[in-house]
Each structure stands twice: as C-alpha cells, then as structure tokens.
C-alpha cells in the first residue's frame, strides 16, 4: 500500500530489491554509502560523463560532456508567465500540506517529457552511460560475489494472481540488463518507442542531460505552477472529475491494480508524448505517463517553512520511511497510478526517490530561465 504520505513504494523497492538480488542485507539500493551519492556529500555525483570514443572511466572531475548543437534553445518549450498560485492540497496527503501561496518568476518548460529519441541523441553525442547501465562496484557491496554485481534496473511486471497491495515485490522485479535502451529487460528495444518518454532515468542522469542541452530540472514549485496551468485548487489539472463525460485525460491505470490494466485510456504502458490534451498552458503529460524528477530535496514537512518567492526546496533531505537515504522530489504520477493506489496524477501529489535510482516509470522534462 502507499505510505502515509500517499507515495507508492516503487523507488524504495528499486534499491531494496536490488539488495536482495545481490544477496546482501542493505538499507536500500544504489544509495547511502553506495554507488553514486555519498551521505556526507549529498547532491554531488561521484561519476561523470564519458565523452564519445573514450574507452574506460576518466578520473573524477576530468570528463566533460560536449554541448548539444541546440544548447540553450527554447524550441519545443513553452513560456510560463511569472505568477503566484496556491501550492499543495488539504484533501491530499500530509506532505501536501499546508496549502500555501507561492510566487515564481517566469521560465521556459519543455512541452513534453524527454523522449527516447532525444535521450539517444544525447548519448550518441556524449557517450554518457546511465546509472542502470553501470556495473555496481565491489567496494560498495562488500561480500557480494562478483558475478552478482550486474547492471540493471527495476521493471514492473503484472502479477498473475491476486496479491496483497502491501507486498509490492509481487509486481516490481530487479531485472539485469534493463535500462533506458532495454526498458523491459534484455531482448527489448526502443523500436516503435521513439516518441515515448525515456525511462529508467535516475536523477543524476536527468541532470546530465539537462546540462548538456543548456537547461535544468524544474523546482517543485515551478513544476506545480506549470502543471496547474493557472487553475487553482482543483484536484486534477483539467478540473474536478477524473474522467469527465467518461473521457480519460491522462495515461494512468484503469482496472484492478496491479493485475489488470484495462487500458481504457488506450495504453497499458507508456504512451507517445502528447497523446492526451495539454493543460491550459499547452504542456502535455503533466499528469500520468511517467514520474518527472524535480531539482528539490524531499522533506515531508517542507511546506511549513517554504519560502514564498521562488522556493528551491529544503537544504537537506529526510524521508521518515528511510531516514538514512537522501531523496529528490518526483512529480506527475505515471501509467501505474490508479485510484486505489497512489493517485500521483494529481498536481499536488508528491513522490520522492533516491537520486541514483531509476525505474520503468521514471523520466523527466527540463526548464530554463
């Protein structure tokens, strides 16, 4: 079941299931003192991009990505006017409270989530290797047999029978070889998915792409301002009804979760970006499809002390469910969100994830000033 803040446990599972797959007892996957982020230096990646054509890892701090040919361009972006809005919800979960007025400066935002086609272009230009594609280091997992240290990611697989919603291991599976290029594991490809949002993206992967193209990740406040489209206090970005006149407005789960997705909205997995109508700002897929990373650290109590003008999130991270694991904010929900599980497709709904963990429903979009 979702935790007390309404968050599905998929990201926590990503690390925990990996630890189980490796045969060790760890508090989380790919985090803490592990692979990328050290607890004493949160937010600073200890891995860098490898330029195309360069074999093997470069010393920390020496590798630098080349710039995108479209560096700094606003093509495919929408200007979000400066303004204020009511952030949060009193009818949601505790970490969405208190509702508070926030003011943000104007900014550009990608109309769509970053697609496989766009991310592939980035990888071809830079030789970047995502977290899911990197072999875990033996020093980060002492005692684990070398043959168990394999790259991979966590993939959703619908269970065959009825399951307890508290037992999310029944539908999440650590899959060696799964990555953005192989979204369901070895043997899968991006054929026909070029315009789908890229997935299995860790926060640091998203930051690397954004820097390459001359953009950045949105703050949580910018994201919610943009998602609401100028409409305040409504439960959904399109209004008060989840499916007005029986029409689904986003790629989310219909049917009995997690076994039967009826696909009434036309999809049972990710959908091509822009398959559903945009909000009043013209942004598409701000609800459903894939979770989107924000720049902010996550704290469930942050709203009580948030700045009014251009808040950038707390200075540190705290998740009461995993006190020793730093988290970044994710927003927007995904194709796996349902009325009975996470309802993450609401504009006020918050999710959190370890910066070096991606799953089969985690993606992103960018902004720029």
Give the residue carrying structure tokens 């997705």: 261
Reported pTM: 0.85
Q: Looking at residue 143, what is its pLDDT?
A: 86
Instruction: Give the three-state DSSP class for 57.
Output: coil
Angle at 295 between CA 294 and CA 300, to 5 degrees: 75
pLDDT along the chain (369 residues), means of 10: 52 43 36 29 29 34 65 96 97 97 98 98 97 89 86 95 89 95 97 98 98 98 98 94 96 96 97 98 98 98 98 98 95 96 96 94 98
Residues sharing a CB contact under 8 Å with residue 50, sequence separation 6 or more, in sequence order? 56, 57, 58, 63, 126, 127, 128, 129
Q: Looking at residue 148, what is its pLDDT?
A: 86
Q: Looking at residue 8, what is its pLDDT?
A: 54
The two beta strands, 291-297 and 362-363, are parallel
Q: Looking at residue 215, what is its pLDDT?
A: 98
Chain centre distance of CA 89: 21
* Integer Cα distance of 268 and 145 in angstroms: 37
E strand or H helix at 244? none
């Amino acid at each position: 079941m979702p935790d007390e803040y309404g968050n599905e446990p998929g990201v926590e599972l990503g690390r925990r299931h990996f630890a189980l797959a490796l045969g060790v007892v760890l508090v989380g996957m790919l985090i803490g003192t592990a692979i990328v982020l050290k607890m004493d230096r949160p937010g600073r990646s200890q891995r860098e991009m490898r330029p195309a054509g360069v074999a093997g890892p470069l010393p920390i701090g020496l590798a630098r990505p080349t710039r995108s040919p479209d560096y700094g361009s606003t093509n495919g972006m929408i200007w979000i006017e400066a303004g204020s809005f009511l952030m949060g919800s009193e009818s949601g979960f505790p970490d969405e409270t208190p509702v508070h007025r926030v003011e943000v400066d104007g900014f550009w935002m990608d109309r769509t989530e970053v697609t496989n086609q766009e991310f592939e272009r980035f990888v071809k230009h830079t030789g970047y290797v995502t977290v899911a594609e990197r072999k875990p280091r033996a020093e980060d997992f002492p005692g684990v047999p070398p043959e168990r240290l394999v790259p991979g990611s966590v993939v959703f697989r619908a269970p065959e029978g009825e399951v307890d919603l508290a037992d999310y291991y029944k539908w999440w599976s650590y899959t060696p070889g799964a990555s953005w290029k192989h979204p369901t594991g070895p043997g899968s490809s991006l054929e026909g998915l070029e315009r789908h949002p890229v997935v299995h993206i860790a926060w640091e992967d998203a930051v690397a792409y954004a820097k390459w193209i001359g953009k950045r990740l949105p703050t949580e406040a910018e994201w919610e301002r943009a998602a609401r489209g100028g409409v305040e206090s409504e439960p959904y970005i399109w209004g008060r009804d989840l499916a007005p006149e029986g029409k689904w407005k986003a790629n989310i789960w219909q049917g009995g979760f997690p076994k039967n997705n009826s696909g009434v909205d036309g999809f049972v997995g990710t959908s091509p970006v822009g398959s559903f109508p945009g909000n009043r700002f013209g942004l598409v897929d701000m609800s459903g499809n894939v979770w989107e990373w924000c720049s902010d650290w996550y704290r469930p109590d942050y709203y009580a002390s948030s700045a009014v003008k251009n808040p950038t999130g707390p200075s540190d991270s705290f998740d009461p469910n995993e006190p020793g694991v730093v988290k970044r904010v994710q927003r927007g929900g995904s194709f796996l969100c349902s009325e009975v599980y996470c309802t993450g497709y609401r504009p006020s709904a918050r999710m959190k994830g370890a910066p070096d963990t991606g799953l089969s429903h985690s993606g992103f979009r960018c902004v720029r000033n």
